[in-house]
Each structure stands twice: as C-alpha cells, then as structure tokens.
Amino acid sequence: MHSRRIGDVEVSAIGLGAMPMSIEGRPDEERSLATIHAALDAGVTLIDTADAYHRDADEVGHNETLIAKALASHDRGGDVLVATKGGHLRPGDGSWTLDGSPRHLKAACEESLRRLGVEAIGLYQFHRPDPRVPYAESVGAIRDLLDEGKIRMAGISNANPEQIRQANEILGGRLVSVQNQFSPAFRSSEPELRLCDELGVAFLPWSPLGGISKAGELGSGHAPFARIAEARGVSPQRVCLAWMLAKSPVVVPIPGASRPETIRDSLAATDLALTAEELAELDAA
C-alpha cells in the first residue's frame, strides 16, 4: 500500500469512508465488520467517520462504535488513524442539522472519545460551518481541544478557501486536513484542493466516486472514465481514484464502502499509473 501524510502521521494513500455502513440502506453488522477488516488486511491505515453517521435519533455515533468494535477485533487495529468529526446532527427523520457552538463541539468530542475508547482522537474535524455561529468560535473550540490534548490533530470539512486560511491562522498553523466533496461530478472544490497543495495540508475528498456509476452511459460527461477503464481492464472507480491521486501528493481519497470487494477494488487504484494524456482527458471530462 502506498502512503501519504496527514500532519506528522503516515497513512495509506486511500482511506476507508465508513459512512455507508451506518446510514440509510446500511448492511448488517457482520458485513460491515468484514468490510473494515478487509480494508485493514489490504493495508488501510485511515478510516473516516463522524458522530452524525447514524440513521435513527437514538443511535448517535453508530459509525464510531462500529469502527471501535472492528479495530478492537483485528490485530492491525492499533495502526489506524481514525478521523472523526463533530458539528453535524441527525434528528432521525433523514435530515441533517448543524450545531457549531463551542459548547456542542466540546461535548461531542467527549462522546466521540468515549465511543472510540481512546484517550485522544487521532484527527478531529469541524464537520460543517454553522451560519448561526461565527466560524472563528467553532474553530476556536477545535483549537482548545487540540491544546488540551483531547485530539492529536485538527482539521475542517466543507470549507472554502477563506475558511481554510482563517482556520489555519486560528489553529496557529496546525491545520492538517480539509475534507471537502470532490468527484468527477462535483469539481467546485478545485480551488480548495490547490490551496491545500500550496499549504501542505491534506485534502480528503469525500464522496470521491460521485457520478462514476453512470460513467459508461451514452452522453455522460464522465464517459472518458469508462473508456479508459475498459482499455485498462479495470473499473471506472479505480480510474477515478487514480486520477485524484495524480492531482497532488496531498490528496487522500476516502471512498465509501459497505462490501469487502468494493474497498479492495478502490485500494488497487494506488497501483494504477495513468498517462499524461489520460489525465488530461479526464480533467477535461
């Protein structure tokens, strides 16, 4: 498994996005544990989660609890950087709400610590800006958690360039990650990716395979992914992740998975070297 860096920690070049194992349409626990174990067996050392990755109102932190169970039952569980987030909520009706108040973030971090069973969270990220709370106050709470040793590294999610610079300043230059949506179907985070490259901050694309399921459809803007995949004898998903990895050494995709075979295929992207011509075609798709 190839590696990249988040802060001072070396991680697998592709992580596991665990959200699909806890929200609507999730698999049974046995398959979820098998998926996480398959990722660990293949060399994954980064797992992405959040306290809001759950389905019902009475199971906040379902995903964190699942991950803790999977890591405790695998001999490589101790090698994994778990990245979790706070500031999003799910009331149980399928909607997503926000609470970026310092009080909530600090309480949420304590609950995540308890569920994960650790003394300090490896990477804690502010999940999404709350328009009712000044951004500086929310990030200030993350800074306090970092200073108190409750978290080892700090990041932000769903942020624009101005917020990235502001967060890095508030954190005293200690911002290590930005987790934004980025995929063939959603490329508006290119400026944030470029800024992260400039700052040396890890960029973690969430939902990186968005749009790829329709890559082979006639008239799809993502058809080049399917054409290159067919020529290479691999899946369009693998081509997509290889394309992302080639964009910058700070990119660490976190594709979601709920089946062992899915994460295994995604991880094979680290060994797929695309040509300059192929990358240019995909950039233009």
> With a cut of 70, which residues of the chain have pLDDT below it?
218-219
Instruction: Return the pLDDT at 109.
Output: 98
Catalytic residue check, 124: no
Q: Quick one: fold of 3-217+248-273?
A: TIM Barrel (3.20.20)
Instruction: Return the pLDDT at 107.
Output: 98
Instruction: Return the pLDDT at 221.
Output: 76
- Could you tell me if 82 and 50 are in contact, meaning their C-beta atoms sit under 8 angstroms apart? no
Q: pTM value?
A: 0.96
**Alpha carbon 182 to chain centroid distance?**
11
Which strand (E) or helix (H) includes residue 133?
Answer: none
Instruction: Return the pLDDT at 1.
Output: 79
On the CB side of 75, CA atoms within 13 Å amount to 1
Instruction: Return the pLDDT at 219.
Output: 66
Instruction: Return the pLDDT at 218.
Output: 62
Distance CA 15, CA 47 (A): 6
Domain boundaries in the chain? 3-217+248-273
* Residue from 53, 124, 135, 243 carrying the catalytic annotation: 53
Instruction: Return the pLDDT at 213.
Output: 79
